[in-house]
Amino acid sequence: MRTLKQFVLFLTVISFTTLTSCSTDDDGGGEGAAASGTLTAQVDGKSFKSLEISSSATVANGGQNLIIIATNSDGNAFSFTILGYSGIGTYAIGGGANIFNSASYSETNVNLSNPTASTTEIWQAPYDDIEAGSITISEETETKVIGTFSFQCKNVNGDNSIKNINEGAFNLNKQTT
């Protein structure tokens, strides 16, 4: 009887180990580390975290487009547009036929003593004909869109500076229009 108990325990441990070591990816990549309702990233090595109240993912045009907007309390924001959206997968930002998929990062400096003198700088991708990065959707439900991103963007209407966006992740509430 003791041998049977040991065999059942051994079989249970092996089954548990086998089942928990398997994973599915569906070409969606990892989910990232963003808390529910937020978008996080490293902007030239500085941390960005959006506010839940001002962050969302909208699936529009009969499910063919994905628009993500996320802002923080410092007046900084991310915006993504994917045309030809089809759910879970990786979408190139720029490069060839993907020129219509775009991403941007903006910084607004509010001048409290003279609000009309406030400035907004926008870094956009793509800024030429090569691929500037990608956005990966790893999960989409009726209420959430979850994924990761990284890209390089340029301030084309300002000083032409480049910003590197890394370790981007989002776990956003989903709207459908």
Taking the C-alpha atoms of residue 97 and residue 159, their distance in angstroms, rounded to an integer, is 28
Q: What is the pLDDT of residue 28?
A: 44
Exposure string over 41-59, b if 16+ CB within 10 A, otherwise e: bebeeeebbbeeeebbbbb
Indicate the DSSP class of residue 95.
S
Tens digit of each residue's pLDDT (9 = 90 or more) over 33-65: 899 999 999 999 999 999 999 999 999 999 999
> Does the pLDDT at position 126 exceed 70?
yes
Phi, psi of 8 (to 5 degrees): -65, -40
Is the pLDDT score of 14 beyond 50? no
What element of type H or E holds 17? helix 2-21
Tens of pLDDT, residue by residue over 60-105, are 999 999 999 999 999 999 999 999 999 999 999 998 877 789 999 9
Q: What is the mean pLDDT of residues 112-118?
A: 91
Which residue type does 5 have? K
